[in-house]
Structure 1
């Protein structure tokens, strides 16, 4: 049985909403399903964003199907959406989780307002019902604790004793480079062959995509010699070559971390 880590937890984590399966999705109003697909296809979302929006919109319309008897989108009111937010809150969902669900619906509404309303009489007077609502009360699940260099050294020692070279590479990169998780997994093995410029203690990474609209903001990170040391150790120990540095093995095949 996996051990639950509760250190630094201020409140219990919310239970994950059940996935809306394809069978469940087919029970949703056809117009709502079509609008969702049209909206997703009209934008060049990154895979992660598309997945989040797909999940958010399926969850919302499944709730509409069950709690509002499939009420048409153009008839949904601010009051209805507040009920939806209350439903999420009562399940223990954090404010950031509710905000993420709200963002998906709001983006769809903006698309309908700006595009669909031009040639669909039902949406001529449609307005984004997620605008102008009371602020979502802020909740905090974990207390943020800054990691000192001594803490970093202690963790690296434990990982080394466990011969967890992937963990060492990840921690050294996260601590020394400061990239987000979604950016770290984009780092390529070619970085290990970059020459360190004279008088510097780092190499500049290739371009990675950060947070932002479209594909995301284009970023380059300084990978210092400390991080490079453990990236090279992991590369040596993993026993196979791959385009990306951070990989795991599924079914005997190495793949980029998700």
Structure 2
């Protein structure tokens, strides 16, 4: 799928000042995570750049539903995935709703209405990627191959993500200090078989979101230690980093996790794979292969409800009929 180039500072400077003020006011009133806010900011700027290029830089109040349809068609023709089109449309629609509610005291906005009304059909939801968890053998093959290739950072990412059952946005936050952590102890002082990370922001509304500690095992700990040993000393506090030729080290983007999974890991097992599949694989291995209660998987994945965890567990439905025959 294609992507639309982000709006440069030079391009943004050319946007109608009134539209820029609306964009700033809208974004400032949102209570979103930094990552989501960045996505909203990008979507709004892409829309107003389109207004500048295709609608003679009109102020928002002069736009009509037909312009909303034209913008949606522009996104579709640009080759965006349906999900991306829906998101960008949703952001602009939310901004229009904001303007309807809070700019109605200005004469020119009294008659303004959302440019995305019910007469403009939204694009359809794309079929979700087929969720076939890794078998134990596939998981072990990826680990073995990465070790043979000495891809220590990839191996640490895979083992930690699998062990903790975390999302890519959570593994992205892990700090180097975790290698100094000790195993968790019970109330009697006996060591358990896992470690706890520092606080990690998980999915949730608001700037702070929900916070929890991730559980991970010795295999993940050893993989992280090996990667940090190979990586050497630097000032970046994060485990997963990008190192440039001139020696600069910075936190790795989550897009790199997508790339590793879709390319390197998929090539090893001979079928398409995506990051979130690791989370589903962990849940399935706990419940189906490990014969553990769904509550165990729920605890690892950090869900409030076991019903949510059930979505991640993939069972062989053909086995369910065996008892009836």
TM-score range, shorter chain: 0.7 to 0.9
Distance 2:101 2:204 in 1: 21
The change in CA–CA distance for 1:212 and 1:82 in structure 2 (over 3 A counts) is: farther
Report how far residue 77 of structure 1 moved: 2.9
Report how far residue 131 of structure 1 moved: 5.3
Choose between structure 1 and 2 for higher RCO, CA contacts under 8 A separated by at least 6 residues.
1
Moved more, 52-61 or 142-151: 142-151
* SS of corresponding position for 2:133: coil
Unaligned runs of 5+ in 2: 254-325
The change in CA–CA distance for 1:103 and 1:208 in structure 2 (over 3 A counts) is: farther
The reply to whether residue 235 of structure 1 matches residue 221 of structure 2 is: no
The change in CA–CA distance for 1:106 and 1:208 in structure 2 (over 3 A counts) is: farther
Residues 172-210 of structure 1: CA deviation (Å, up to 9, x unaligned): 122222222121110112222222123522222222112
Identify the residue that residue 65 of structure 2 maps to in structure 1.
78
Distance 1:211 1:129 in 2: 30
Contact 2:86 2:122 in 1 (8 A): no
Structure with more helix by fraction = 2
The reply to whether residue 130 of structure 1 matches residue 130 of structure 2 is: no
Unaligned runs of 5+ in 1: 1-12
Could you tell me which of 237, 248, 254 is aligned with 1:253? Answer: 248
Report how far residue 218 of structure 1 moved: 2.0
The change in CA–CA distance for 1:225 and 1:107 in structure 2 (over 3 A counts) is: farther
The reply to whether residue 154 of structure 1 matches residue 141 of structure 2 is: yes
Report how far residue 161 of structure 1 moved: 1.0
The change in CA–CA distance for 1:240 and 1:131 in structure 2 (over 3 A counts) is: farther
TM-score normalised by the chain length of structure 1: 0.83
Report how far residue 157 of structure 1 moved: 1.1
Size of the alignment, in residue pairs? 244
Contact 1:248 1:257 in 2 (8 A): yes
TM-score normalised by the chain length of structure 2: 0.67
* SS of corresponding position for 2:116: coil
